Every structure is written in C-alpha cells, then in structure tokens.
Structure 1
Amino acid sequence: MIKSYGDFGIKDFINHEFLSSYKKIYIPNEVLKNGDLTIHIKSVAQNAIFYVLEKSGLNFTVLKAKRVNLNDGENIVDMEYSTSGNGSEYFGYYARGYYKITGGKGFYETGSEDTTYDYVSGQTIITTDNTIGTPSVFDLGAYPEYQTKIKDEISKLNTEFAQLNDDFNSLPSLTSQPSINLTDYKTPQYSEISEPVGFVGRWFDKTINGFACKVTINQGSEFYFKVKGTTSINVNFELNSALETPYFAYSIDGSPMTRQLITNPTLLAVTTDEHIVRVVIDGITETEDKWVGEKGVAFKNVTVGVGGTITGVLPKNRKIMFFGDSITEGVRVLNMEATANGNSGSGAYPFVTCENLNAISYRVGFGAQGVTNGGSGGVPEVLPMLDLMTSTRPAPYYEPDLIVLNHGTNDGPGTSEDFIAKYNAV
C-alpha cells in the first residue's frame, strides 16, 4: 500500500491550541483525494461521529457515517471507506475539536443551535460558509490520510505514460535544425509571500490623496504578484506627479512588456488559470521634484474579478543593484524628450542586462547626477544618496549578488582629484 495525505500533509497538532466552543458538525475546506480514507484529529475525550460527504453548494449529502469514542489528544479514525477523488467528496465530524487561526482554508459548519447531528447515508446536512471573512484562514486540527494499492498506482502511471507517448508521436517532425537560445530555457523562479504584492527597488509607505500607497521615485522599480480564478486584472495607482503622467509596463507570464499610463489600470484579459504578473515603473519625467517633494509613482493596490485571488511573489533570481545617472534611469530611451513619454525603465541598460543574465535589477538612477555633483529632481551627489531613498527617508538594508556603479558622465566640471577622492569614498 502507498500512503498519501491531504493538501497540508501531516499536520503538527502542537499549534492547534484553540478548542471549539460548541459540539457541532465541522467540515474542513479540503476536497478528498482517491484512496482508503483515514482521519487524524486532535480532540478531547468525547463521543463523536465522522462523515464522508458529497458537496453541492452549502449542502452536504452523507455517504458514510461512523460513530467513534475519541480520547484526549491525537486520534486516528479508519473510515472504512474508499474515496473516488472526483472533486466533490469531503470529510466532516460532529465533535469539539481543536483549531488554529492561521494557515488554513476555512471550513463549513452547522449552527450552534442545531441539535440534529445523527445523520445517516443519503441525508443532507445544511451548512454555513466559513471559507470567507475572518475564519477563512482557520485551520481545523484534522487531516486525511489515504492508502492506495501499488497496482492501482502502476495502472495510473501506465495510462499517463501512454498519453504522453501519444502526444509525443503526434508532434510534427523537425525539417531543419532548431535555433536554440539561452533565453529559451530561463526558468522563472518565484517564492510566495504573505503580502499581496512583492516589491523590488526603493519603495516607501505614504498616504497619497487619502489612500495608503507604496511610493517610489525611481524609474525601474518593480513589483510582482500572481492571480488565479479571474479574467480581469487592475493595477491601481494614485497620481503623485506634478508634471507628465507617468507610465508603467507589465508582463504576464513572461510575455513582452506592455506599456501604458498609470491612469489606465486595466491589464489585458487572461484565462482563469494561474498567471504571474511583473510590473515595472517605466516612465517618470526626469525633472519631477523627487528628492524633497517625493514626486514619482504611488501604487495603491491590485484588484481582480469576483472569485479571483491575488498572491504576492518575489523572484528568486540573482539580484544586481545599479547606481547610475540618466543612462541607468532610462532617460530619452524612446525619444529625445526627458519626460515620462520619452523615458523607459524597461528599455534601459540595467533591464536589458538582467534579461540576458536571468537576473533582477534593483535600480537607483537619476539624470544629470554624478559623483561630484547633484542631479535632476533635486537629488544630491552620489555618496550622501546611497543610504537615503529621499531627503528624509533612510533606505532599507539590501544585499544584492552584484553592485554596478555607472557614474562619471556628468562629472566633467569637477577636478580629477575631487572625482577620485569621492569615487573611492563611494
């Protein structure tokens, strides 16, 4: 026999320290897989009933009921039932059980005043939905275990292999030598985070137009997230510029960047499958009052269609930190205007470099800035700027894999001695 477990694997019940107030029917929000079903549960000593159920909306039809005397602590209940894994089967229990208030997917339950619990096969249990709101992250102290026969697994693998073989044989034959590029085999690497969006670059919290926002004055700053269960995605900004309206660029699942004004938040429609979205702050006018006035781009939030989910992600690729001038910032990449319309963070050298190295850029660049003189937007020379995001905001500690310093173009008016001394200090 082969053992497998539910979505959360084997739960460590040490963190399930809260005991439910009422003895009623609880149904974890977890679809059962295929196999001979056993339930693990943390409980107090009590009489209980366990159920295998078929879900239809908030109604659950009893497929199997089993009475059990539970002991204090962890209990193992053999349901003597083989689940089909058809996507509609759940397990539930009538008992006072333990739970924790984080890390789960919620549950369904009967009302505390409901004294009907002795259901038999074929009867329907009507529940309330605790997979939304505050209880949506509660994790009940119970999990399923499945046992399947080795021959069943072999049969399943043989079927999958046969399908793969058919798919392979249906591929068109190659008539010429394929052209292979390094970039064809880049593997996106992301880690999920608890926040809805993952930020790269220098971002700080600030209230803009009455909304809590993440603000950056740096063209080329980025953020990442993934969505599922929606066809619509809006990336919402608040206007935080005194000159031209800024631009952002985005890529869905590694597609070419699409550029649009921050006042146009709607991205291209997607399927309801999972998609990873990368957003780059692409165009800010060079002369915005960045350093003292903190003018730039203010990101508010991401919104999706009803039923969709948003999860923050961050790239695990190597990170390169760039300090530089207008060349690093991406000034006049699209045309000869040093405005939001002519500038492009996704067209600048740091972005292109990192695309070819399968790395991520952390960018701090300001036009006209140098080692010996300040630059556009009121920024000071390089050395006092290294540890500041704006005139009053310290930059958080960041540890890249590589640092690139691209300065000197704007240091012509200074002396060689002054440049050498300040460059070495940097």
Structure 2
Amino acid sequence: MAYEGHWGRTAEAAVTVNSGSRLGFRFTGDSVHALFDVSSVTVPAQIYVSVDGGPKRLYAVDREDLEITAAGRGPHRVELSVKDVFSRANRWTPPLETGVVLTGVRGRLLPQRPVHKPRFAFYGDSVTQGVMALCEVNTSDCADGTAAYPTLVAGALHASLTQVGFGRQGVLRTGNGGVPTASDAYGWNYAGSRADSDRHADVIVVNQGTNDTAWGSAEFRTAYRAYLDTLRAAAPHARILALRPSTGAHADDIAAVVAELADRRVEFVDTSGWLAPAEGDFNGDVHPSAQGHRKVATD
C-alpha cells in the first residue's frame, strides 16, 4: 500500500481524518475488497475510488466491506482518495465519529514499486480541506478535498501530497470536531497518533488566519510566528510559503512575521486579486468554489 497524507498506521488499521488523503495499491484478478471499521462512525466519510486511471466512483464509508471490481485479470491499480471527512463531527479523539478506518484489503495484492517525487505539504483550515468547493452548504456532499488547491497543485507538479485542513481552525482558534489549534495539532494524525515527519518535505504551504479575526495583531503575530518556527524546526530544508488568506484576514500581520524571520526560504505569497466573487470563485463569502480552487492552483 502506498499512502499519501496523514495516516495513523497500526497493525490493526490505517486511519485518516483528512480530506485529500489517498492511498494506492495494485492487484490481480477481477476484484478486491476494501475493509473498514465503521463501528463508531456517525457521519460517514466520502471517498473516491478509481481503477486503472478510470473515472472516479463516489462511495460513503458506511459499510465494512467495499468490493472494487476491474475488467480482466490485471494487473490493476487502485487509487482511493478521501473526498471529505465532515469537519463538525468528532474526528480528533477516538472513538472517532468520522474518518476512514481501513482495516485491510482482501485480494491478490502486488508489491508497490517505489516512486520518488517532490514532497509537498499543505496545512490550513476549511479552505485547505475543500469545504463548500462544490456548493454553498457545509456538508460532505458540498465538500471535496480532491477539488481543492492542494490536490490540484500536487497533481500538476507530480508531487506527493500531504493535505491537512481543519474547518474553523486557526493559529489561535481551535477547529471543529475537537481539533486543537494549528500549532497543537501539528505533528499528529489525531489524538494519540503521531504523524510522519515533514523532515524531508520540499515545500510546505500554510493557509491560516481566516479564523483568527477575533484576536488582535499582537496576539496573532506571536502565535503565527510560533507556528512557522514549529514548521521550520520540523522541516529544516523546506521552502515554506505563507499564503495571504483569500479573505485578507491578518494579511499585513502575516507579511510582517515573514519579513521579521529573515529566512530566505520562508516567503509571503500575496493572493490579492486571485479570486473574484463576481466571477463565481466562491461558494458563500469565504470558501472558494471548485473554479476558485483551480485559479489558486494555477496562480
């Protein structure tokens, strides 16, 4: 199995609580069965499954056994990508009310060939998660992490992807679903499960600030700098891109913190003018539409 994103892996299961996470595997035969633990789930996550590069099929992870079929004996390749993990259900402290808990794959699996790609990591809030990318209601049906800019950028650059977005989260504000602030959540898949290190990341993209408008500049700058310091310590060689939030929240503060760091590999990215509400780039006031995400990815 080839995992991308934050997956907590044990002998019993592989667990992700993040939209945009994905995994791939190869098999022979005309079908395999993906097995899930849904015993504590109250709001099923949504996933896409693609076989041999074909169309993505949408499934709710509301069953223990999902049969995946293919034409012919193979070998075949499956990509499973997480469309959405609903942000308002508990997805941090086990037992999880939502998330993907893969307990195994039953079938004739083949070894994976190592693929070396640039490593990109994206950390942010509901925008990074892909909330409301498809329509203007805050539900899993309207959300799509695979339509959000992190997945699109990684795809265009043929990079491996870590996409971690938590609705309502900021550097000072806790997220929905029991998720801590950005600094406290960093380094964890979910409570009690350590995330893989970003030590070898090539690029880290930060999109925070939208949910921190209740705090003034001084408090925000202190927290934002501490967050960037945490990322730099974890990824000493990465290029870190600090995005201006699409709402413009704390834009001047973010630019000031980046300037104060005097680290030539930490850059402020001014997104002013990238998106236009009148052109259909948003669903609601804050969240980019799928069209808006495509614009962000290309800019």
- Indicate the TM-score class for this superposition, using the shorter chain for normalisation: 0.5 to 0.7
Question: Are 1:317 and 1:358, in contact at CA under 8 Å, matched by a contact in 2?
Answer: yes
Q: In structure 2, what is the equivalent of residue 10 of structure 1?
A: none
* Residue 241 (structure 1) shift: 5.1
Q: Which residue identity does 2:127 align to in structure 1?
A: I
Query: Structure 1 242/338 Cα, relative in aligned 2: closer, same or farther at 3 Å?
Result: farther
- 2:6 is the alignment partner of 1:202: yes
- For 1:246, which of 45, 52, 68 is the aligned residue? 45
Question: Are 1:226 and 1:313, in contact at CA under 8 Å, matched by a contact in 2?
Answer: no
- 2:163 is the alignment partner of 1:344: no
Query: Structure 1 234/336 Cα, relative in aligned 2: closer, same or farther at 3 Å?
Result: farther
Alpha-carbon RMSD across the aligned residues, in angstroms, is 2.1
Q: Is the radius of gyration larger for structure 1 or structure 2?
A: 1
Q: 2: CA distance between counterparts of 1:311 and 1:334?
A: 36
* Residue 240 (structure 1) shift: 5.3
Spell out the pairing of 1:169-248 with structure 2 (5 A cutoff).
Answer: 197-205=1-9, 212-228=12-28, 230-239=29-38, 242-248=41-47
Question: Are 2:51 and 2:70, in contact at CA under 8 Å, matched by a contact in 1?
Answer: no
* Residues 290-341 of structure 1 deviation map (CA, whole Å, 9 limit, x = unaligned): 122352210011123xxx4433455422221010101111112233333333
Task: Give the secondary-structure state (helix, strand or coil) at the position aligned to 1:400.
Answer: coil
Question: Are 1:205 and 1:215, in contact at CA under 8 Å, matched by a contact in 2?
Answer: yes
* Residue 382 (structure 1) shift: 0.8
TM-score by length of 1: 0.49
Spell out the pairing of 1:237-386 with structure 2 (5 A cutoff).
Answer: 237-239=36-38, 242-262=41-61, 263=63, 265-293=66-94, 295=96, 296-304=99-107, 308-313=108-113, 315-386=115-186
Question: Are 1:240 and 1:297, in contact at CA under 8 Å, matched by a contact in 2?
Answer: no
TM-score by length of 2: 0.68
Question: Are 1:323 and 1:404, in contact at CA under 8 Å, matched by a contact in 2?
Answer: yes
Task: Give the secondary-structure state (helix, strand or coil) at the position aligned to 1:291.
Answer: coil
Q: 2: CA distance between counterparts of 1:397 and 1:255?
A: 32
* Residues 252-282 of structure 1 deviation map (CA, whole Å, 9 limit, x = unaligned): 2333432212237122423212222211122
Q: Which residue identity does 2:87 align to in structure 1?
A: E
Q: 2: CA distance between counterparts of 1:222 and 1:281?
A: 6
Question: Are 1:224 and 1:314, in contact at CA under 8 Å, matched by a contact in 2?
Answer: no
Spell out the pairing of 1:90-109 with structure 2 (5 A cutoff).
Answer: none
Q: 2: CA distance between counterparts of 1:408 and 1:338?
A: 20
* Residues 183-238 of structure 1 deviation map (CA, whole Å, 9 limit, x = unaligned): xxxxxxxxxxxxxx12222222468xxxx21111112211111112x011222222
In structure 2, stretches of 5+ residues that fail to align are 228-299
Q: 2: CA distance between counterparts of 1:314 and 1:280?
A: 19
Q: 1: CA distance between counterparts of 2:141 and 2:113?
A: 29
* Residues 23-64 of structure 1 deviation map (CA, whole Å, 9 limit, x = unaligned): xxxxxxxxxxxxxxxxxxxxxxxxxxxxxxxxxxxxxxxxxx
Q: In structure 2, what is the equivalent of residue 406 of structure 1?
A: 207
Question: Are 1:244 and 1:340, in contact at CA under 8 Å, matched by a contact in 2?
Answer: no
Q: Which residue identity does 2:121 align to in structure 1?
A: M
Question: Are 2:8 and 2:194, in contact at CA under 8 Å, matched by a contact in 1?
Answer: no
- Select the structure with the greater relative contact order (CA < 8 A; seq sep ≥ 6): 2
Q: Which has the higher helix share?
A: 2
Q: In structure 2, what is the equivalent of residue 421 of structure 1?
A: 222
* Residue 379 (structure 1) shift: 1.0
Question: Are 1:242 and 1:288, in contact at CA under 8 Å, matched by a contact in 2?
Answer: no
Task: Give the secondary-structure state (helix, strand or coil) at the position aligned to 2:13.
Answer: strand
In structure 1, stretches of 5+ residues that fail to align are 1-196
May I ask how many residue pairs the two structures share in their alignment?
A: 222
* Residue 372 (structure 1) shift: 1.5
Question: Are 2:130 and 2:148, in contact at CA under 8 Å, matched by a contact in 1?
Answer: yes
* Runs of 4+ that moved beyond 6 A: none
Q: Which residue identity does 1:202 align to in structure 2?
A: H
Query: Structure 1 343/313 Cα, relative in aligned 2: closer, same or farther at 3 Å?
Result: farther
Q: In structure 1, what is the equivalent of residue 246 of structure 2?
A: none
Q: Which residue identity does 1:300 align to in structure 2?
A: T
Q: 1: CA distance between counterparts of 2:201 and 2:39?
A: 29
* Residue 425 (structure 1) shift: 1.2
Question: Are 1:240 and 1:298, in contact at CA under 8 Å, matched by a contact in 2?
Answer: no
Spell out the pairing of 1:115-126 with structure 2 (5 A cutoff).
Answer: none
Q: Which residue identity does 1:200 align to in structure 2?
A: E
Q: Which has the higher strand share?
A: 1
